[in-house]
Structure formats: C-alpha cells, structure tokens
Chains A and B, each alone.
Chain A
Amino acid sequence: MPAQLLVSIVEIGCFFALIALSYLIVLYGAGFFHFALGPYAMFSALGAAYWLSVDEWPLWLACLSGAAAATLLSVLTELLVVRPIEKRADGEELPGLIAVVAVMFAVSQLGGWLFGRRPLPGQPWIDLEEPIEWGSAVISGQAVATLLVTLALFGALAAWLRWSRYGQWLRAVGENQQAARTMGFPVARIRLVAFAVGGLIAGVAGPLFSSKAGVSFESGLSYSLFGFIAFVIGGTGSVWGPLAGGLFLAALQIVASYVFGSPSLNYATLIAAVLFFAFRPEGFFARRVRH
C-alpha cells in the first residue's frame, strides 16, 4: 500500500475523529445524538472559505468567525429547538430526532443561501514552502496542521472532562438528567455548555478539513453520517474512542476505494455500519461500569 494512502487516512481520520468527539461531548452532557454537527462543520468551513475569498478576510479571522458561528448555531439549536421539543416529548426519542434532522436541513439551506451553492476551496493553516518528503509520500503542511490541531483538541478535552468542574458535571448530567437535577446540578446550563463545546469542535474541524477536500452546502450530511459512524465504532467509553473510530473508518474507506474503486467507499461504510451496529454496538471502547 502506498505510503501516501497513510497520510490521507490520518488527515481524513482526524476530521472524522473531531466530528465524533463533538458527538461524544453533546452525548455526555445532554444525552442527545446531535446529528446537526456535520452541517455546523460545513457552515463554519463554507463561511470561512467565503469570507476568505470574497471579503478577503485574513485566515485566522475567517476560521475563528466560522467556529464562532458554529458554536452559536449549536447553542441556538438547544435553546430554540431541542429543549422545548424534548420537554414536550415525554421521554420519546423520535420528536428530538425529527427536530435535529430538520435543523440539519435548515443549516445546510442557510449555508447555501448565505454563502452560495457552489463548492468553495479552503485554505491551508500551515503553508510549507517545501512539503515534507517521507519515503515515497509527500506530507503537506495542512496534514501536519490537521494532526496537531486534532491531538491538541483531544488532549484539551480529555483534561477538561477530567479536571474541570463543568467537565465532571457533564458526565453526571448525560448519564441521568433526572438524578442530576435532583442532586441540584444546573442541568440546563450544563447542557448548554455541552452543545457549545460540541459546536465549537465541529466549527474548528470544518475549516481545518476543507483545505483538503473543499466544501459545499451539501457536505454537511456526509460529515454528520461519517462522524456518527466513527463515533459508534469508537464507543463512548473513552474520550480517545472517537479518535480510534475516526482513523478506523478513514482507513476502511480509503483502502476500499483504493482496492475496489471509489464507489465502494460508500458501500464499505454501509457494511461497516451494519456490522458494528449489529454485533458491537458499544464500539471499541465500552464503559466498564454497568448501569
């Protein structure tokens, strides 16, 4: 297998891993699969690309604004949509699912309306004059940036969950909101923090990845799906589970399309999802505690 494929696996795997990590944070803090995270990443990436190319903003400002917009969208989703609907749903899962799919659709359309419906290219965060040569492979500056940012975000989140007050509260609320409320945790605020942090991670991931693949207003759906599959494969037992899941899914997709041609990327993802959901729904890293 050419070494170049490995570089691609790491780049794409890191992106899936970041989306999966944002799923994990929202699941921990709010007990909710936040399907709209993919469109947030798209919105952030498309917005950043638009501000870069049309308004000629500097790179840092464009990406920061994109990430801020994704965070804001995620917070608004919780406040305006998920919270009122879950309150009425009486423990049923379907209304929340329908609502978040509607948010997915709305955010994609909003992105297309604001930033145009044609695909835009992203810009690399690290632009090397000479790409690094590693055996037969060429490592771009952006591949290095993707890896570094991903590891930094995972490290920061692991530390936050472990040592910060909110990080610790997050898991208590996600596990059992009723019990957490009884014990006096500020549940509504903790949920909001979870949505904000999830949106922020997705908002960073989008512009980071778009310099490799470009982005269009329709990209959000596949971001959401692949991130979700990576998240399920990784499991919810560890913060590092999403990283394992993301790299595994990326490896599977890239090897499948290298060996069998590019259409098999989608077939392989479907087969992996069906097999994992049927035989190992808890993923690689399961929680050791029974509940």
Chain B
Amino acid sequence: MTRRSSGLLEATLTLAIAVAAIFLVSGNPYLEAVALLTATYAFISLGMYLPFIMGGALSMAYNAYLGLGAYAMALVATRTTWDLAWAVPIGALLAAAVAVVLGMATRRLSGFYLAAVTLLFGIAFSTWLVDAEALTGGSAGIQSLRAPSLDGQPVGNSVLVAITILAVWLVGLLLSRLRASPFGIVVRTQRRAAIAVESAGVRVSTLSLVTLAVGAMVAALGGSMFAVVNHAVLPESFVVELVFLTMFMPLLGGQDRPWGAILGAVLVVTFTFQLTFFKSTGSLFFSLAVLLVLVAAPRGILGYLLLGWNRLLGRTGGDSGMRGPR
C-alpha cells in the first residue's frame, strides 16, 4: 500500500467511526453528555500530544488552556452580542498567548522542574478562577449562556455535539498528518537529539514554543465547545487533577498515533462513568491500568492493534517504531 492510499484509508476509517459515533449518541441527551465529556478529554489529550508525546516536554497547565477557551465562550455569550463563533479564536489565541508566556518563563526547565512549575501554574489558575469574581463569576461560575444561532434559529445541542465530534476527528487527523510531516519529524527528533536539530538550523526553544501554543489552542477549542454545549461554566471543571487523567490517555490508548489519545479518552469515560461496576473504582482501575501499560506494554492498545494488523498483512517493521522518526 502506498503512503498516499494508507493516509486516505486512515482518514476514511476514522471519519466513519466519528460519523457512527454521532449517529449512536444523537437525540439521546445522556449519551450526548457522555460524548461531550469524552470529546473534551480528547481535546486536552490531543493538545498535549504535540508538545508531550511528540516533543517530550511534560508541560501540565492544560486545565488553564481548557478554562481559557471555556470562559472566553462564556464571556462572549453573556457580555457581548457577537456571534458565538468568535469566542473560539479568541479563546484559542488567549490560550496560545498564555502558553507562550509560560513557555518563555520555563524555557530553561525540563523534566521534573517543568512539570512542577506548570502544575503550580495550573493550581494558581484554578485559584484565580474562583478569586477573580468580577470577571469569572467566582465559585458560582457563569450561567445561562445563550445558544448559538444560525440565520436567527438557535442551534440545538445535538448539532453542537455532532460538530464537536467532527472537530475531534479533524484535529486528530491534522495531528496525524503533522506527525509524519517534516515539522513533526523535527519535533520528534529534538526530543533525543536537540543539538543535532539546533545545528541543522532549527531553534529548539522557538520550536517548543510553537508546539506549546498549538497544543494550548487545541485544548482551548475543547473548552469552548464544552462551555457552549453546557450553557454554563463552573471553576471546578478546570482543576489541575483533570490533567492527570488526560496525560495518561495517549499512553493507554497508544502513543504512535494521535488516535490513541482519543481511544484513551473513550476508555476512561467508559470505565469511570458508564460501567456501574467501575463507578466508584474507575479512577483507581484506570491508574493501575496505566501503570501496567507503562511497565509491561509501552506501545498502548492501539500500538499493539497496529502491530497485529501489520503482522497479519505480513509486513514487518514498518512504522511500529515508538520513538524514532521515520
């Protein structure tokens, strides 16, 4: 199979799954809420994919980027008469700006130090959401966001959830393409060979700022959709603990492709909210599963599925490589 046709197969197959998911949940408010939560997790996880899984930098302030997208939507919906679609780029740009400033402040940090400072930032952000009452509504949040309208007709939640699912698919596809592009290869290479990349004429610090900004924008998009479908925002939706769920989703689902992040999100929501057996123990079960995957099965679920598929077709090697760029 050529590269072009395998790319087409990837796009069609994943689109088919996204459309199937839309048909599955559409019209059922409970399933729509579950799908929205899954999509929100997937957006954060996809946002972390570029800087974290590909770039190797564990920046953890993603609750803040999600929150910026959500509060941008809430403020546009309650304090302006603008079309709500404007909130999406506003939230994304705000999040990107914050990510760049935080990235510059932490540009000399890596590993544990970077994780610690970005976690502190995430905590400070959720404190600020409650603290800055005049702007954010404090602990009561912002309620009764107006629904978006098209030609004067309000757009219903089913349509919004369908748009959200399609947006997750599109972001996943774009990230998958980006991963295989020259840019993606440079991002993955600097993780282990920063000096080589630097000597090839790429400023590694600028590169990581770009990845952080893009990641923040993806998370902010998730926040905007989350707010518009719920018609409300509450500060407790944006606590830093969220990041502990989302950072492990690609590891569980499989890090070879962004789709692994989405698969991880589906699994987490299924285990923690859907199956009654796991309801009280879902997070514990998830965290133990993550540890098991980290220690014993580092490719993640999707990684092994792809490996099995390749074996089935009699292909060896191929792109089963976990870290090295092709």
Does B281 belong to the interface (CB within 8 Å)?
A: yes
Contact of B56 among A80, A84, A94 (CB under 8 A): A94
Closest to A106 in B: B287
A264-291 near B? 1/0 per residue, CB < 8 Å:
0011011001100110010000000000
Question: Range of interface residues on chain B?
Answer: 35 or more
Q: Do B284 and A266 touch across chains, with their CB atoms under 8 A apart?
A: no
The complex places the Cα of A113 from the Cα of B280 at a distance, in Å, of: 8
The complex places the Cα of A89 from the Cα of B160 at a distance, in Å, of: 43
Task: Report A240 CB to chain B, min CB distance, Å.
Answer: 22
Chain B residues in 8 Å Cβ range of A218:
241
Q: Do B288 and A270 touch across chains, with their CB atoms under 8 A apart?
A: no
Closest to B112 in A: A33
Does A99 belong to the interface (CB within 8 Å)?
A: yes
Q: Do B247 and A101 touch across chains, with their CB atoms under 8 A apart?
A: yes
Chain B residues in 8 Å Cβ range of A263:
127-128, 130-131
Q: Do A93 and B110 touch across chains, with their CB atoms under 8 A apart?
A: yes
Q: Do B113 and A101 touch across chains, with their CB atoms under 8 A apart?
A: no
Question: Range of interface residues on chain A?
Answer: 35 or more
Contact of B295 among A85, A266, A278 (CB under 8 A): A85
A57-84 near B? 1/0 per residue, CB < 8 Å:
0000000000000000000000011001
Chain B residues in 8 Å Cβ range of A274:
105-106, 117
Contact of A225 among B56, B120, B247 (CB under 8 A): B120
The complex places the Cα of A102 from the Cα of B291 at a distance, in Å, of: 6
With contact pairs A33-B112, A218-B241 given, residues A267 and B290 touching in the complex (Cβ less than 8 Å): no
Does B294 belong to the interface (CB within 8 Å)?
A: yes
Chain A residues in 8 Å Cβ range of B145:
none
The complex places the Cα of A229 from the Cα of B121 at a distance, in Å, of: 13
With contact pairs A101-B247, A106-B288 given, residues A221 and B111 touching in the complex (Cβ less than 8 Å): no
Contact of A270 among B112, B117, B294, B298 (CB under 8 A): B117
Q: Do B116 and A229 touch across chains, with their CB atoms under 8 A apart?
A: yes
Does A180 belong to the interface (CB within 8 Å)?
A: no
Q: Do B251 and A277 touch across chains, with their CB atoms under 8 A apart?
A: no
Contact of A84 among B105, B113, B244, B295 (CB under 8 A): B295
Q: Do B295 and A80 touch across chains, with their CB atoms under 8 A apart?
A: yes
Does B124 belong to the interface (CB within 8 Å)?
A: yes
The complex places the Cα of A109 from the Cα of B124 at a distance, in Å, of: 23
With contact pairs A110-B284, A221-B241, A274-B106 given, residues A103 and B291 touching in the complex (Cβ less than 8 Å): yes
Contact of A97 among B58, B124, B241 (CB under 8 A): B58
Beyond A101-B115, A266-B127: 8 further Cβ-contacts under 8 Å? A94-B58, A94-B191, A99-B291, A102-B294, A109-B283, A112-B283, A113-B281, A229-B116
| Residues of B in contact with A (beta carbons under 8 Å apart) | 56, 58, 105-106, 108-113, 115-117, 119-121, 123-124, 127-128, 130-131, 191-192, 240-241, 244, 247-248, 251, 280-281, 283-284, 286-288, 290-291, 294-295, 298
- In order of increasing CB-CB distance, the 9 nearest A-B pairs are A106-B287, A109-B284, A263-B131, A33-B112, A270-B120, A93-B111, A266-B127, A266-B124, A270-B124
